[in-house]
């Protein structure tokens, strides 16, 4: 018999009667977190379904659905004669794990490096977005971006909470991504946006001076009227400076 896994039963399912979808979500999230945290290291063989379901206090149907999702996420793999093995998520999974990884990173130096890398990714993707938009933006798309910027401006004037400012800012980004017509760019930005939603300290650091964020978007709206590739470097340099200041604020608040 396999040794019990170093994870506890799924907390959300100890008391009764969660709906089936919620039960699967809870089981999937529980096992995913155990893999990302290192409780279930790469190469760990999972017990047979019956035993694993008993260890996690879920039924086999729930467990099987959760395992299917873990397979699809690249976190586990089944091998003939070896059973189901935990994969190295750093090699096999995708950026959707970034929010979880940030939440589980407690060492200050490692956390700063991870945030620094996330912001670097965001700047590089911003460069790709701007490069795509140089070809031109339709009047309708420009109006949609301008309307989203106006919503952000009203939120700032109203003294909205940081979380609400972040959502308004992300709505501007979503409108800008729609203007590119690129699903690939939108999908690449989603994990970074989710990190902002799930990391209040990072949100607070990035939106400590919300009017500066607003001015940057207003300048971008002007640029969209006549996109010029020569100006992209200046915009990216401004984003870089803002990110560096946010990192300093984040470290000071830790």
CB 175 within 8 A of CB 145: yes
- Strands 45-46 vs 76-79: parallel, antiparallel or unpaired: unpaired
| Residue 17, pLDDT score | 45
- For the chain, which domains are there? 11-93 (1.10.10.10), 96-253 (1.20.120)
pTM of the model: 0.80
| Residue 82, pLDDT score | 77
Longest dimension (CA), the chain: 68
Task: Give dist(CA 130, CA 227) in Å, integer.
Answer: 9
| Residue 209, pLDDT score | 94
| Residue 206, pLDDT score | 94
Residues in the chain with pLDDT values less than 50: 1, 14-18
Task: Give dist(CA 129, CA 227) in Å, integer.
Answer: 12
How open is the CA angle 106-38-31, to the nearest 5 degrees?
110
């Amino acid at each position: 018999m396999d040794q019990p896994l170093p994870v506890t039963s799924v907390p959300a399912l100890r008391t009764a009667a969660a709906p089936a979808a919620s039960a699967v979500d809870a089981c999937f999230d529980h096992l995913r977190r155990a893999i990302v945290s290192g409780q279930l290291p790469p190469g760990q063989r999972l017990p047979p379904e019956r035993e694993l379901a008993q260890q996690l206090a879920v039924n086999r149907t729930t467990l099987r659905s959760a395992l299917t999702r873990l397979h699809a996420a690249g976190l586990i793999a089944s091998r003939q004669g070896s059973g189901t093995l935990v994969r190295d998520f750093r090699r096999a999974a995708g950026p959707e794990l970034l929010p979880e990884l940030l939440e589980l990173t407690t060492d200050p130096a490692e956390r700063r490096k991870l945030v620094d890398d996330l912001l670097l990714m965001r700047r590089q993707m911003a460069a790709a977005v701007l490069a795509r938009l140089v070809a031109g933006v339709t009047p309708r798309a420009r109006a949609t971006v301008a309307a989203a910027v106006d919503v952000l401006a009203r939120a700032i004037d109203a003294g909205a909470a940081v979380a609400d400012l972040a959502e308004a800012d992300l709505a501007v980004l979503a409108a800008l991504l729609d203007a590119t017509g690129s699903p690939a760019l939108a999908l690449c930005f989603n994990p970074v946006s989710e990190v902002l939603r799930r990391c209040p300290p990072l949100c607070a650091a990035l939106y400590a001076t919300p009017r500066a964020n607003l001015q940057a978007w207003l300048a971008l709206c002007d640029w969209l009227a006549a996109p010029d590739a020569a100006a992209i470097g200046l915009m990216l340099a401004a984003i870089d400076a803002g990110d560096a200041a946010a990192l300093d604020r984040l470290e000071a608040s830790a």
